[in-house]
Structure 1
Amino acid sequence: MKLQDTDLKLLRIFETIVQCGGFAAAQPILNIGASSISEYMAQLETRLGIRLCERGRGGFRLTDDGIQLHEAAQRLLGAVDTFQMEAGALRNQLQGALHFGMVEAILTDQHSPLPVAIRHFGRAAPDVRLQVQIETPGDMERHVLDGRLHLAVGPFPTQIAGLNYTPLYREEQGLYCAATHPLSEHAHERIPIGALSQYRLAARAYLGTQELKLLRMSHASALVDNVEGRAMLILSGNYIGFLPPHYARPWVDSGLLLRVDPEHYVTHLEFSIIMRKGVQPARVVQSFYEHLLEAAAELGGHRARTRRKAAT
């Protein structure tokens, strides 16, 4: 199949439908009616000679061919966006679509440089469309490698070949239990590590055995890679687990969660920027990368000044 401009248009419509989860949800985003969306999808399926999705009373579902096309289209459209950014840079213009990945539940972290970096970058490059994907660390690594993402920020405990990792900032992690958990009666006491092995742990799969080693446990009872899912398990009263204090604060303030022996059970996640190794980033990508580092340095300097004032 020889690609034409109309094919790129059809693929972008297809990608919007997939991201929205169906034709109806895509209508306000595409600003076209259901009949037009159906017609465009029929054109794309005719061009490719395959069935891409099932739609009807059973809801929207990609076929196996549709799933493969979705993955290929993400790579292709990402490459097109990169080309547009590089072409704009030749005219000394910052424009195009920058695909950026990040983990969820970091908005309330005052140590995160992302809001400041996005604010400054948006003012410096108002014509750039920032497309943010919320993904797990493993997915972000794969998608930076295959070109679906230009860069990403998250905790990456193990580094893989093909990516550059630039340290950005740290996020504190504390051990928590629910007010209904048996451990809650002793949460503010010194708790020996061996005493925790009797409780069920909700751990993060991408950290491997890191949390198990810290607590000297042999296994985790649940593996959850997103913060909200882990918080839900802990709030159930059946599990203990690590959460960022900034995220847990509302439940702590309301008395639903308690932090367990914070002096001894504290750890940190190291957040890094990842980019593909051996590839010269487009000027737009490089600019956003630099804004991230500048924002982290700015916040780090502010925290240091705050600590000095508190010491005096």
Structure 2
Amino acid sequence: MGAVFSGKNAQLQILISAFPMYREPEVWVIQLHDVDLKLLRVFATIVKCGGFSAAQAALNAGQSTISEQMSHLETRLGVKLCQRGRSGFHLTEQGVAVHEATLRLLAAVENFCLDADVLKQHISGQLNLGIIDTTITDPDSPIPRTTQRFVSRGHDVHLNVYIGSPAELEERVLDGRLHLAVGHFPIHVPGLSYSALYQEALGLYCGRRHPLFASQTEGARLLEEIRASRIVARGYMQHYDLEQLGASKAAATVDNIEALAILIISGAYLGFLPVHFAAQWVKSDDMRQLATNQLQLMSPFDVISRRGLAPPPILRAFLEDLATCSRTANHG
């Protein structure tokens, strides 16, 4: 995708070459006006909400108005973007390609707005932040302190927060939908910059209905019984979790901590949880931490951003506050 600006009423040219129905590379050149950007935002919102009806509240518009806007956009682009009816809402093959290009375009427009802030005396704009799930109970997380410090400076900023798995966060930072993300990233992806923030303590837990909940077994015998139990592992850390237990395979795999906690509470599985997150169920006697001396781990948390790009002022300011709050926590 490329962009060309000219004249007072600049038009944006998007170069779309990713339509999968073409055997030979082709490039579409579409002259976009302000109204087209508005229609593309409508399209992106419809896809995000999962249909015309579901998007009415988000767009503050009736279904007939939304249908008319989509018809106008399809006429402008010359392709059918979606199908809807009794079978539900779904994108056409062309619609999938246009939606992907739309997300890239809107991210580029937002980044342009952020870059333009360098000409202003104060920081303003939209900051898109990603965070791994279940950090709300972590007293060592610098995110709440950073947010308070950042907002208290009087910045005119709209903050968007996305909660996702490590892989989702990395993907969204890479394609520009997120400016930065904080979480546990065991495998470093090319194109991203990783900076260490803090460590999170993990423990092995079982639920009240698990046979080991009331067991008095300790030491090597306990570890043998743990290895013989059903283990639920984090999908992004599966081999690591199993290696810590000396187990050969996982009986269940999850991609987020809340799902892991649900399986542990069921009493059918053992698994690693953040100590701060599990504390609420330990207190209510619904969980028990096992082998506390042998199986308490430390998980590193990093902040990630795209490599090779000069951060816009809004992102630079947030990163500076994040570094300050992280240092304060580590020394305090």
User: TM-score normalised to the size of structure 1?
Assistant: 0.90
Q: Secondary structure at the match of 2:182?
A: strand
Q: Distance in 2 between matches of 1:38 and 1:194?
A: 62
What code does the residue aligned with 2:172 have? H
Higher RCO structure (Cα 8 Å, ≥6 apart): 1
Distance 1:49 1:187, change over 3 A: farther
Residue in structure 1 matching 2:168, options 128, 139, 149:
139
**Structure 1, unaligned runs of 5 or more:** 303-312
Show the 5 A alignment for 1:5-84: 5-84=34-113
1:185 to partner: Cα distance: 2.0
Conserved 8 A contact 1:170-1:268: yes
CA gap 1:69/1:99 in 2 versus in 1, 3 angstroms: farther
Aligned partner of residue 2 in structure 1, secondary structure: strand
Query: What is the CA–CA distance in structure 1 between the aligned matches of 2:82 and 2:239, rounded to whole Å?
Result: 40
Q: Does residue 123 of structure 2 align to residue 118 of structure 1?
A: no
1:245 to 1:54, Cα distance in 2 relative to 1, 3 A: farther
Deviation at 1:70, TM superposition (A): 2.7
Q: Aligned letter for 1:134?
A: I
What is the CA–CA distance in structure 2 between the aligned matches of 1:209 and 1:6, rounded to whole Å? Answer: 50
Q: Aligned letter for 2:246?
A: R
Change (3 A) 1:83 1:251: same
Select the structure of larger CA radius of gyration.
2
2:277 counterpart (244, 247, 252): 247
Question: Retained in 2: the 8 A contact 1:81–1:98?
Answer: no
Contact 1:95-1:125 at 8 Å conserved across structures? no
Aligned position for 2:16: none
- Partner residue in 2 for 1:258: 288
Q: Paired residue for 1:175? A: 204
Aligned with 1:218 (options 236, 243, 248): 248
Rounded to whole Å, the distance in 2 between the matches of 1:242 and 1:54 is 44
Q: Which whole-Å deviations, capped at 9, do the CAs of 1:12-69 have from their partners, x for residues lacking one?
A: 2222222233333332332222222222222222222333333344443333433333
Which stretch of the first structure deviates more once superposed, 12-21 or 108-117? 12-21
> Which amino acid in 2 is paired with 1:116?
R
Structure 2: runs of 5 or more not aligned: 1-29
**Aligned partners of 2:238 and 2:253 also within 8 Å:** no
1:269 alignment partner in structure 2: 299
- Cα offsets for 1:148-201 (capped at 9, x unmatched): 221111101121222110011111111111111112122784454333221111
